[in-house]
Chains A and B, each alone.
Chain A
Amino acid sequence: MSKILSSRGPGVQAASPLHRLDARAKLGALLIFLIAVSSTPPSRPRVLAALLLLPLAAAFAARLPVRRLLARAAIALPFTAMIALAAGWNLGLFAALVLLAKSMLSLLSTGVIVAITPFPAMARAMAWARVPELLILVTQFVYRYLFVIAEEAAVMLRAARSRQGQCSSRVMAWRVAGGTLGALFARSSKRAAAIHQSMLARGFRGQFPQVSSHRFALGETALLAGTAVAAVLMRALL
């Protein structure tokens, strides 16, 4: 549970020119970068090494703690290493290592962008990109109540553990976990009804109010163009 509560990403509070850019530009640059990584053939690891400079430069410019970002990206390592190992069987060890590097590079760049882009701004960018409105509304709801429900689950599990002590058998452990989640399920649907009442009381008409608007100025253009040009140049020259 502490994982979910502490994984909002490092450096959300800090502000830099990069933090203030429009989310569309940041997500766009992330997509360009990810596509550049994904399309690099395994025979050219030098291009990948050069591409690593981009997220590192962004992390430096945004004054993010690079070591923590790397540690964060390394959490997925056991899982990705397993897939890479399976791939290495017919592609060879070298290709497997390149695949692993690709996945780490993708994780690192996503981590940098997530750390400098608040979620409401991402939701606005998705609305601009014509993502279905219902999906955005539901995503915002999930994000809003995620920490509330996760905390409630943690409290209920702790209470169950202090009532029962160590679970002696597996059946007992299943009963405790299942019972907790069942009760949480019932409580959650009750909570949803209460939320709806308070939404109606505050005049909800089917949409969350939008506070700030989009802007696309010099900085945004520079970020997008810079990422694209850098990716193309690295691919052409190395």
Chain B
Amino acid sequence: MHIPDGFLTAPVWGSLAAVSGVGVAVSARFAQKEVALDNGRQLPMLGVMGAFVFAAQMVNFPVGMGTSGHLVGGTLLAASLGPWSASIVMTAVLLLQALVFQDGGVLALGANVCNMALAGVWAGYLPVAFSGNKQNRFSLFLGGLLSVSASAALALSELWYSGVRPPFAVLQTGCVFLLVTALIEGLITVVIARAAGIRLAAADPQTGRWPRPALAAGIMALLILAIALASQSPDALQGLLGMSGETAPWQQRALSGLGGMAILFFACVIAAWCWDRFMRNKDA
């Protein structure tokens, strides 16, 4: 899911770098407050969890037909460290992957940070925040699913705005493939959390200080809006019109496919919310 260098056009990577710069600066400010508590007890935790995600990405989970998936980790980090710190850890991992391991581009780093460290982490955090219970397996699964589908949908649309426009059938297949990847992320997240004995809540010293779910939902919506607006710069649009002359029917269908993924995304969020209400009513 890392976007390599050379495919995004300058308006796309430039605006996404700006968005991610602001996002990371804000996250760092909030995370700093959590880390400063108790003589920096959380600081090595952030670092070691980043190293854990790095190592976990090397362990393959067989899917069948010779393919395998691996953890991306946004939800696991958000559930164990809180969303602000998780964004910082994920950014650190992406930074190292781009600068030391040449996995993902340097100019495309802003785009990758937006997709995985900001949108991915917050999308994964949403169901966990809604359920208010970090041990809830269903919310962890939904978090993994949402996290990866949000990252993948954003990566696809960014490439789309840069002129990488496969035909509808290919895009459809790609979307199905990405949905499978997202399902696998959800499963892996649950499997790891279960095997770890779900010490996720214990790893977080101040559960009560997390942002309210409404705030989380608002930030997520703003982030998606910001990325959509940033990607939709005039140059990219001009390129779209200039290259194809007029919008072909298959392009409209492909665009509506992306829209469909967005609708699916929000449907999942609403489902998580309803499930949570249902569970609470049952408890009461």
SS of B interface (majority): helix
Contact of B35 among A102, A134, A182 (CB under 8 A): A134
Pick from A134, A140, A174 the residue with the most CB of B within 10 Å.
Answer: A134
Contact pick for A181, options B48, B59, B105, CB 8 Å: B59
Residues of B within 8 A of A192 (CB): 44-45, 47-49
Q: Which of A7, A30, A99, A143 contacts B6 (CB 8 A)?
A: A99
Least CB distance from B191 to A in Å reads 3
**CB pair A141 B91 closer than 8 Å:** no
* B182 at interface, CB cutoff 8 A: no
A106, A110, A135, A200: the one within 8 Å of B24 (CB): A135
Q: A178-B192, A189-B199, A192-B45 are in contact. Are A157 and B5 (CB under 8 A)?
A: no
Contacts of B50 in A (CB 8 A): 138-139, 141-142
Task: Please determine whether B59 and A180 come into contact, CB atoms closer than 8 angstroms.
Answer: yes
B residues whose Cβ falls under 8 Å from a Cβ of A: 4-10, 13, 24-25, 28-29, 31-32, 35-36, 39-41, 43-52, 54-56, 58-62, 64, 71, 76, 80, 88-89, 91-93, 95-96, 98-103, 105-107, 159, 163-167, 170, 187-188, 191-197, 199, 203, 243-244
Question: Which one of A53-61, A73-81, A225-233 contacts B?
Answer: A73-81
Minimum CB–CB distance from B132 to chain A (whole Å) comes to 22
Cross-chain contact A178 with B191 (CB below 8 angstroms): yes
**Alpha-carbon separation in the docked complex, A191 to B41 (Å):** 12
- Against B, the Cβ 8 Å flags (1 = close, 0 = not) of A194-209 are 0110011000101000
Complex contacts, B29 vs chain A, CB 8 Å: 132
Q: Give every chain A residue within 8 A of B58 (Cβ-Cβ).
A: 1, 3-4, 150, 153
- Provide the bound-state CA to CA distance between A206 and B39, in Å: 8
Instruction: Judge whether A159 is part of the interface by a CB distance below 8 angstroms.
Output: no
B31 lies within 8 A of A38 (CB): no
The answer on a CB contact under 8 Å between B5 and A200 is no
Q: Closest CB-CB distance, A8 to chain B, in whole Å?
A: 8
Task: Identify which of A135, A185, A200 contacts B88 (C-beta below 8 A).
Answer: A135
- Give the chain B neighbours of A99 by CB distance below 8 A: 6-7
| Contact between chains at A152 and B55 (CB < 8 Å) | yes
